[in-house]
Copies of this chain bind each other. A is one copy, B any other.
Amino acid sequence: MILFRKFLIGSSLTLTGFFAGSLLERRRKESCKETLPGLFDAVYAATPVSVPDIASQKGVTSSRVSQIMKYGFPGFDQIRSFDDYVLSYDRRNRVAHWVFEHLTADLVKHNPDVDRAKCDFKPDDTIHPFFRSENSDYKHSGFDRGHLAAAGNHKSIQKHCEDTFFLSNMAPQVGSGFNRDAWNKLEKYVRKLTKKYINVYCCTGPLYLPRKENDGKTYVKYQVIGNNSVAVPTHFFKVVVCERSDGKLEMEAYVMPNQVINNETSLNMFQVPPETIERAAGLLFFSQVNRKALVSINGKSV
C-alpha cells in the first residue's frame, strides 16, 4: 500500500478507469454484496466509497474526490471481453472505439463444423439501452453492418464466430466496393499473415477524420443513422503487429476511407504511419512495444 500511495503523490492525480477499479476491488473485499447488477453499474456503485489511503500531499484527498463524485461517475470506457476478442465501446457514437484480436494459424483455421450462416446479428444487451445500436438502425440506411473483428478470423469455434455478430462489433460500412471488397481484401490479407508469422495482433477501429471546407475552416463531419444515431465513420483503420519465429516484431498500419474503392488499388496504398492513426483516433497502439525496437513499419526498416 505504501507503494500505491507513493505512486499517487504528485502535483495532481491522473487517474484512469483504474481508480474505480481499485475502489471496486477494495469494496469487494470489504463487503458481501453478491447482487451487484453488473460490472458497469458496479463501477458507478464503487465511487462513493471513501478510500483514505489514496491521498496526495498536495491537498487532493480521496475523500474530496468521493465528495465531488458522490452520486456516481457519468462515464467510463466500457470494455467488453469476448471469448476471442476484446472491444472498447464508444457510447457517444454507438460504435466501438477499437477491437483487438490475436490471430494464429490454428485460431483462424476454418473448422467445418462452424457455420457462419447460423450467426445472427444481435444487439449487445450489456450496452445501456440509451447507447445500444439495434438492427433497425441499419435497416434501409444503405449501409452494411460491417464487422470490426472479422467473422472470418474466428471460425475455429461456433461461439467465437457468433460473438463477432454482436452489434457492438459492427459499424455502418459502405457495402459494395468497401465492406464486401477492399475492406474484405484487407481482412483476408491480415488473416493470411498467420501463415508467415507465429502471432498476429490486430487492432481495428473507426476514424472520424477532419476535412478542410471551402470556407477555409476544418470540420469533422459524419452521418448518423437510425433512431439511435449510430455514427458512420469516415474511415477505418487496422494496425497489426506480427511476431516472427525469431521473436522479432513487424508493424503495419492501414487507413481506408468508408467509400467505394477501386478494386485494383493495392493494399499498400492504404498504409500510413501508425502515429497518424493514433493522433486521429485518440489511441496509442502497442504501447508495450518500443517502436524503435520494431524490425519494420509498413515494410520499411525502423
> Please, how many angstroms separate the alpha-carbon atoms of A45 and B288 in the complex?
7
Are A78's CB and B16's CB within 8 A? yes
Tell which of B7, B72, B100, B219 touches A69, judged by Cβ atoms closer than 8 Å.
Answer: B100
Are B80's CB and A14's CB within 8 A? yes
> Please, how many angstroms separate the alpha-carbon atoms of A58 and B159 in the complex?
10
Given contacts A14-B80, A201-B70, contact A221 B224 (CB under 8 A): no
Within 8 A of B (CB), among A232-288: 241, 275, 278-288
Are B18's CB and A17's CB within 8 A? yes
Tell which of B17, B77, B218, B222 touches A224, judged by Cβ atoms closer than 8 Å.
Answer: B218
Query: For the complex, is A68 an interface residue (Cβ under 8 Å from B)?
Result: yes
Are B223's CB and A72's CB within 8 A? no
Within 8 A of B (CB), among A1-48: 3-4, 6-8, 12-25, 28, 32, 34, 36, 38-45, 47-48
Are B224's CB and A100's CB within 8 A? no
Looking at chain A's contact residues, the main secondary structure is mixed
Are B74's CB and A275's CB within 8 A? no
Query: For the complex, is A155 an interface residue (Cβ under 8 Å from B)?
Result: no
Given contacts A22-B22, A39-B13, contact A88 B75 (CB under 8 A): yes
Tell which of B28, B73, B78, B288 touches A4, judged by Cβ atoms closer than 8 Å.
Answer: B28
> Please, how many angstroms separate the alpha-carbon atoms of A105 and B284 in the complex?
42
Give, as a whole number of angstroms, the nearest-CB distance from A97 to chain B: 6
Closest to A90 in B: B282
Query: For the complex, is A289 an interface residue (Cβ under 8 Å from B)?
Result: yes
Within 8 A of B (CB), among A47-95: 47-48, 58-60, 64-65, 67-86, 88, 90-93
> Please, how many angstroms separate the alpha-carbon atoms of A229 and B102 in the complex?
32
Within 8 Å CB of A83, what residues of B? Answer: 12, 58-60, 64
Within 8 Å CB of A23, what residues of B? Answer: 21
Query: For the complex, is A300 an interface residue (Cβ under 8 Å from B)?
Result: no
Query: For the complex, is A217 an interface residue (Cβ under 8 Å from B)?
Result: yes
Q: Which of A81, A85, A241 has the most CB of B within 10 A?
A: A81
Given contacts A25-B25, A283-B74, contact A82 B278 (CB under 8 A): no
- Can you name 9 A-B residue pairings with CB atoms under 8 Å? A4-B25, A8-B39, A22-B24, A65-B86, A72-B284, A75-B98, A75-B282, A92-B280, A220-B221
Name A's B-contacting residues (CB within 8 A): 3-4, 6-8, 12-25, 28, 32, 34, 36, 38-45, 47-48, 58-60, 64-65, 67-86, 88, 90-93, 97-98, 100-102, 126, 128, 130-131, 159, 163, 201, 203, 205, 208, 210, 217-225, 229, 231, 241, 275, 278-289
